[in-house]
Amino acid sequence: MRNTGASFSAGQCKFTVWAPEKDAMQLVIDGRPPADMLKDEEGYFELDVSDIAPGARYRFAPAGGDSYPDPASHFQPDGVHGASAVVDHEAYRWSDAGWKGLPLQDLIFYEVHTGTFTPEGTFEGIISKLDYLSSLGVNAIELMPVSQFPGGRNWGYDMVFPYAVQHSYGGPDGLKALVDAAHAKGIAVFLDVIFNHLGPEGNYLPQFGPYFTDQYCTPWGNAINFDGEWSDGVRAYFCQAVMHWYEHYHLDGLRVDAVHMMFDNGAVHFWELVSRELNVMRQRMGRNFYLIAESDLNSPHVVKSPENGGWDFDVQWLDDFHHALYVLLDESGRDRYEDFGSIGQWGKAFTDGFVHSGEYVRFRKRRHGASSAGIPGEKFLVFNQNHDQVGNRVGGERLSMLVSFERQKLAAAAILLAPYLPMLFMGEEYGAQTPFFYFVSHSDEELIQKVVEGRRKEFENYKWEKDPPNPQDETTFQGSKLDWSEPERGEHAALLRWHRALIALRKTHPALRHFAKNDVRVNIVSDTCLVLHRRSADQQTELACIFNLGETTADVALPGDAQPWITILNSRDADWNGESKPATEPQEPAPLQEGKIAVQGLTAIVCERA
């Protein structure tokens, strides 16, 4: 499979660009006359240059016309409209030779937007918080997209250079330094990538080839051409982007945005192609690399192997878990997710995965989904909030701005005790009170107006009573930055301690390290209370995780036999009440009498028997 872009090694650089319908192509290096490139039978133009240094700026000029940045540029130091720069990936001196990655089932994710996570808004700023994340217990950072986008403020989903690292975040060396430093702390790094569309500003791919098709329509316009005429080059371009991040940046995996908006009806699906190439690359690299899908399909084939008709993703996001829990935590959530609302649906999310597995769904006006009952727990990732859930509210409200302190503790326990991989959204662990808005920094005035109007119309559909803040206004971006004084105060500090305790329990208790569905069951106590049972692989220990989401006390009877139940964690204990300091002396847990317990309203309790 062909690489494109500028491949620099030992003082030489091979420039390659795919433009199958162009008759001629010139390489335009700053300070030099244009040079003709040679075209092969597959539509690739190439030229070897021996007297060039890293950092050299260049463009490609199709058919002798205007010149454009490299579609496979590795660095755009002057933004999306500027020249591309040659990058020497061999020059960075890595210190992570001993890093082989982490087992999938051990991962605890933390989603980060580089620009708003720290005051600096850079990769270096994230490095300054690695000790904090390590003390929290997080061992996997998921970066929102860092591929080059217009300006310096963006969620990243308007990226237009899938291979390039955002210049305002620190560029290629900045990302490498972050990954290197994270690995030294035992933290894996994942990157969110977009292969279903490109942003509107700085998108020069159509100037080179048929990267897009009108055969399918997406919310962002024409779809990527994965199965039409000339699609071989498009498939290679995006497939090699996966290998690029793996090889050159030592990443531990990718989260792929909206895979349901990638259309491929060919005999060999794009993700089967990626799976095949990745297996070869994994053997060469000798360390783990995982693919995580965001999918709206509720289909188990996303994580099944190609031999079984699947796309071979290692994990997929489980939106149903979020929806089922959120409507129980916040009554207003029923307006947002009309097909959710019962405790039984949340119980199904725990035991099966997909809540909608073939039932009629009013939102979609059709039946939706298939059963995921046989899919292992480590194949799903759950969350209480993420960039979409927060940023697509008119006020950018986090869960901590919508529900009470006690409900936040319940939510934390839900994802960290679940038989799935958990993910926190930056600041969630201490109940951040700063919003997370949608923001951009485009240069085209007409496009800016379209974005502003588009957001307003989008929120009209949700019947919001106010307009969202202007995404282009810098104050919208600045207002989304985390306030790092909050974790030290009152309920924020208590919530942070609660998260640390839950993560520590998850990492050490054998029942929470076992994901087999056969050893996960749920007992529905009432319309607002359930018990999640988790059992260890050796069947020697069992946990009963009690969630009372109601306002009143619930009487819960746990299964009784010769072994007594002992309470090991209670969200109402003084350590987590937000008013008292942590207890200095741990209290010896007392066994429950006859397995019966009165669970206060809005409380999570973990009981154990061995």
Catalytic residues: 257, 294
Residue 49, marked binder:
no
Helix (H, G, I), strand (E, B) or coil at 456: helix
Residue 314, marked binder:
no
Query: Which residues fall within 8 angstroms of residue 276, CB to CB, at 6 or more apart?
Result: 306
Residue 392, marked binder:
yes
Residue 59, marked binder:
no
Place of tokens 């679940």: 418
Residue 319, marked binder:
yes
**Could you write out the DSSP letters of every residue in 7-44?**
EEETTEEEEEEE-TT-S-EEEEETTS--EE-EE-TTSE
Residue 418, marked binder:
no
- The answer to whether the beta carbons of residues 458 and 171 sit under 8 Å apart is no
Nearest to 411 by CA among 436, 379, 383, 387: 383
**Could you write out the DSSP letters of every residue in 356-407?**
-SSEEETTTTEEE----TTS-GGGEEEES--HHHHHTSTT---GGGTS-HHH
Place of tokens 């010896």: 588
CA atoms within 13 A on the CB side of 216: 19
Residue 259, marked binder:
yes
> What gap in Å lies between CA 59 and CA 66, rounded to an integer?
10
Residue 51, marked binder:
no
Query: Distances in Å between the alpha carbon of 297 and those of 171, 320, 374, 380?
Result: 35, 11, 17, 14
Residue 391, marked binder:
yes
Residue 256, marked binder:
yes
Residue 322, marked binder:
yes
DSSP state for residue 251 in the 8-state scheme: -
Residue 572, marked binder:
no
Residue 255, marked binder:
yes
Residue 321, marked binder:
yes
- The answer to whether the beta carbons of residues 286 and 100 sit under 8 Å apart is yes
3-state helix, strand, coil in the chain (%, to 5): 30, 20, 45
Q: Residues forming the annotated binding site for substrate?
A: 255-260, 319-323, 387-392
Q: Residues forming the annotated binding site?
A: 255-260, 319-323, 387-392
